[in-house]
Every structure is written in C-alpha cells, then in structure tokens.
Amino acid sequence: MRNRILIVIAVLASGLSGWLPAQAKELKELKVLYVGSERPEQFLPFLKQHVAQVQSRNRSGFVPADAAAFDVVLLDWPQSGEISEMRKLKSPLGRREDWNKPTVLLGSAGLNLAVSWKLKGGSGCTCMSPLAYDLRPHEIFEKPFVIDRSKSVQIPTPPDFKEEIKAAKIEVLPLVVDYQQQNRYPGWCSYSYDFAKNPDVEFFCGGVNHKTPTAAGLWRQGNLLHFGFQESPAEMSESGQYLLLNAIAYISRFTEDRPIATTPSVFAGPVARSRASILRYLRNPEYKFEWVKENVTPALWAKFESLGREKAADWVEQNGKFLHPDANQQLEMDKDLEAFGIAFDQKEFLFKAVADLRNGGPVANRAERLLHRYAPCGPAQAHPDAWTAWLKENEPYLFASDSGDYCWYVDSLAKKRGVPSSELRGPRRADSSDAVAKK
C-alpha cells in the first residue's frame, strides 16, 4: 500500500495525471540489430559484451520486418556520392509513418534519414570531431554507465566558435583515446536553432565542429536518437563507448514517441529559411550581405539593398514575423498576415482567425486563407463551429514551426496522454506503463 501511495504522489507531483512511467529494460536484456554494410565487425563484438542479443543486416537487403524481434536498431548509413544526388535518397527503413522501432542513427545516418524522411537534422555540417561539448544535465550521461566528466580536457576555443565564445579555452570530453589525432573521418552535427520549439526533440550535447558551438552532436527526435559522432567502438575511449551504450539504453524506452514536424532538408532542394535565420544572417558580420539575396524574393531584396544592412536588420526585427515563403521557397511579406496583425505561430493567431470566421465578410475570407495556409492539421471545412470545436479539443497539444514548414502541428502523444505539450518534454515522453503492458 505504501508503495502505491508513493507512486500516486510522484505522478501528481510531476503533473502527468493518468500516466505512469514504464519499467525500462536493462541494457543486458535488450536485443539490438545493427543495420549497415560497412562496419558490422566493428560493432557486433563490442555489443555482444553488453546486450542480450545482437545481429546485423546488410543495409541494401534490409526490410523493416527484419527488425520485428529487436528492441533497438542501429542504423549505419554513411554519406556517399554528390550532394546533388542526396535528394534521391531512399530510406532503408521504409516509410517514416510506418517505422516504430527505437533507433540510433550513427554518424551521417542522421543526415541521410533526415533528407529522406524530412526530419530534423537535415541541416548542419559533416565536420564534427569526437570531442563532446556542452554536456547538458541529463540522465543519458548517468545510466546505465556514469560518464566521468572529470575526464574532460581544456582545448583552445576553435576558430569557428570565437564569434560566440570569447573565452580562450573550452571544456570538452574526448570520446577517443588520442583526441589530438588528425585526419579522422568527421561526424555529422545538426544545427539546433529551432529544437526548443519541438516537444519531441531533446538536446544532450554538441561536439567540436567547424560551424557553431550550438550545433547538436547527440540528440533525440521521437524514437530516433542521433549519435552524430562517427567513430566505432573500437576507436572510442571508455567515455565514448559508455555514451553509445547509454544512448542505446535510453532510446529503447521510446516506442510511443514519433518525430512530428515535417522539415525539408537543404540537401534535397530549395528550402524556406526561418524568419529568425534572416535576422541572424543580417546581424552576423561574417555572413556577407549579398548572401541573403537567395533567401528572399527580388522585391524584398531590393528593399534590403535600399535600406542597407543595418537598417534592413532593424526592419526584419520589426516586421519579420509576417514573412512567409513563396512558391520558390523565398521569403516575402504575407499581406494577409500583415493585415491580420498577429504572427502565425502565436496561439492568439488561431483564436482570432476562428473568431473572424464567425464574423463573416472579408475578414472571414482572409481568416479562411490564413488557416488553410498555416494550420493544415485543422478541419478541412472553414465552418467556424468545426474550427471552434477543433481548437477546444487540441489547443493544449499544438505547436508551430517555421523551419521550412511554416505551420501548426498537433502533438499526438501529448493528446493521447492528456498532458499539455508544453509539459510533456524530454524523458517524460518515454513509454507509459500502458504501452509496455501491450507489448
């Protein structure tokens, strides 16, 4: 009885009424499948020491049914060919909407799958060293193995970090024994500027790279864990090996969660930039003014040129909330949105648009266009009663994104559990006890 009372108290304290955390399998109980063609002999002997079962499948012959008996899949899918060919990539895991296995994406597998499935992680750099940076407070560094942060070292601040970090040195955790060795095959780091907007995404740490200190090296989206460091276990230090094993154990708990947003990759064709990125480019003296031209319409670029860089940045800071991509994925002013007066990603936008539907006349016509443009997840018809009911049902579970998509989404996991999406974050999105009971 006492244990039951403690469990109820814990649930109520966490604000997750009606949800109980699942009892996770131990690492030694997990069945792991390595899917890849290049390095099975570098992963299988190591994994056999730590998990219940491990097998491999060649990536080219893999079919999703092969993963049915396994708890976690490791996808090893290195980059190959020209960037122009990346838009033709086809996922070896099948269709995004059908894949439900917890999966660790090794190295550039995170990039390739992001391109194919339109996930987060399709924008970044193949330039990451095996030096973990900015380790966040998180259980992934604590279990089943404690990552010894005292093994961190000080290195000179990388040249590409100096715009954002003024200190002479930074602290990093080497994931290989000889971290000063040159000419390693680099890992994939993902730009993380918009991660905080997405309830299904959590950032664990970055890595030393040639772009920005905010790029993510280890992070999760839904049931996918991006392990961007390229090294195999045989090349890793104890810290690197433990981090890989912790990643496998952690993602094994996420069979219910899924990636939500549809995020086109810059490697698969033209992509609309976020509104914040335009301001970031204009404020960054390292970014040439004329480079902004390709991201905006000719009319908007002419305005920027007439204003000059500094005033153009001021203008975007004031008016950028009304920018929207045209048919060519270049940003322009959305005249409907500007007249409406509220940025599309504010909750007030939805409530005012639905109210305008009910008012009728020109404002209703404009509201219908705006809702169709920015809330495709809503009712197909423009009837105000349908939208009112939809908003009442989904309001706690809605979030918006402008990472090429410029629309609202419903967080289906939060809705299923009856927990506001703003509260269902990080480890709280792990499997519920109900999900485990159904397995």
For 34-46, what is each residue's pLDDT tens digit? Answer: 999 999 999 999 9
As a whole number, mean pLDDT of residues 69-88 equals 85
Average pLDDT, rounded, for the chain = 92
Answer yes or no: are the C-beta atoms of 288 and 346 closer than 8 Å: no
The whole-number pLDDT of residue 275 equals 96
Block residue for tokens 């407070």:
137
Q: Do 241 and 301 lie in a common domain?
A: no
How far is 156 from 175, CA to CA, in rounded Å? 17
As a whole number, mean pLDDT of residues 206-231 equals 97
Q: Do 280 and 194 lie in a common domain?
A: no
Strand pairing report for 216-221 and 201-207: antiparallel
The domain tally of the chain equals 2
pLDDT confidence tier of residue 20, bands split at 50, 70 and 90: low
Residue 243 lies in a domain: yes
Q: Do 271 and 145 lie in a common domain?
A: no
Answer yes or no: are the C-beta atoms of 397 and 420 closer than 8 Å: yes
Check which CATH number belongs to the domain holding 58 and give it. Answer: 3.40.50.880
> Has residue 185 got a pLDDT over 70?
yes
Q: What are the backbone dihedrals phi and psi of residue 132, each rounded to the nearest 5 degrees, phi first?
A: -70, 135
Distance of CA 195 to CAs 222, 259, 332, 439, Å? 12, 12, 24, 31
Q: Do 211 and 123 lie in a common domain?
A: yes
As a whole number, mean pLDDT of residues 353-378 equals 97
Tokens of 278: 């335009």
Q: Do 246 and 292 lie in a common domain?
A: no
The whole-number pLDDT of residue 86 equals 78
* Exposed e or buried b per residue across 351-381, where buried means at least 16 C-beta atoms within 10 angstroms of its C-beta: ebbbebbeeeeebbebbbbbbeebbeebbee
Answer yes or no: are the C-beta atoms of 150 and 219 closer than 8 Å: no
Answer yes or no: are the C-beta atoms of 155 and 183 closer than 8 Å: no
* Exposed e or buried b per residue across 107-138, where buried means at least 16 C-beta atoms within 10 angstroms of its C-beta: bbbbbbbbbbbbbbbbbbbbbbbbbbbbbeeb
Q: Do 196 and 94 lie in a common domain?
A: yes
The whole-number pLDDT of residue 6 equals 39
Q: Do 215 and 80 lie in a common domain?
A: yes
Q: Domain span at residue 159?
A: 25-251
Residue 238 lies in a domain: yes
pLDDT confidence tier of residue 22, bands split at 50, 70 and 90: low
> Has residue 186 got a pLDDT over 70?
yes
The whole-number pLDDT of residue 120 equals 95
The whole-number pLDDT of residue 182 equals 81
As a whole number, mean pLDDT of residues 133-158 equals 97
DSSP conformational letter for 369: H
Residue 383 lies in a domain: no
The DSSP element (H or E) to which 325 belongs, if any, is strand 323-325
The whole-number pLDDT of residue 3 equals 43
**333, 348, 363 - which closes a domain:** 333
Q: Do 328 and 294 lie in a common domain?
A: yes
